[in-house]
Amino acid sequence: MPARHLLITGRVQGVNFRYEAKVKADSLRLAGWVRNNDAEGTLEIHVEGTPQALQQFEQWCEHGPAGAHVEEVRATDVPEDYLKSFTIQM
């Protein structure tokens, strides 16, 4: 399956983005992880799934949850890690 690495900038920490990203990923049956990059104030996501589900997830990431202000979503194709679920990393 295709896999993507997303780097999301803007007001993306302290607005439940990680939790809401997990809910969205689970609803789309995607695997991967999400974590804050505290040093840069960004959010990182690794996500794997069908092309259609990845597209829907990336579109959701462009606005994120209520309270978020997404400035940019940088997406890169990456190798699949064959993950089985979507997790929130601390």
Judge if pTM exceeds 0.85.
Answer: yes
- Out of 11, 29, 36, 37, pick the active-site residue: 36
Q: What is the pLDDT along the chain (90 residues), one digit of tens a residue?
A: 899 999 999 999 999 999 999 999 999 999 999 999 988 899 999 999 999 999 999 999 999 999 999 999 999 999 999 999 999 998
- Say what the pLDDT of residue 38 is: 84
Full residue range of the structural domain in which residue 84 is found: 3-88
Q: Identify the CATH number of the domain in which residue 79 sits.
A: 3.30.70.100
Whether residue 18 lies in the annotated active site:
yes
Mode of pairing for the β-strands spanning 69-77 and 42-48:
unpaired
Overall domain count for the chain:
1
Whether residue 36 lies in the annotated active site:
yes
- Out of 18, 29, 37, 74, pick the active-site residue: 18
- Say what the pLDDT of residue 21 is: 98
Place of tokens 């996501």: 45
Distances (CA, A) of 56 to 2, 25, 83, 89, 90: 14, 10, 19, 22, 25
Report the C-alpha gap between 52 and 9 in whole angstroms. Answer: 23
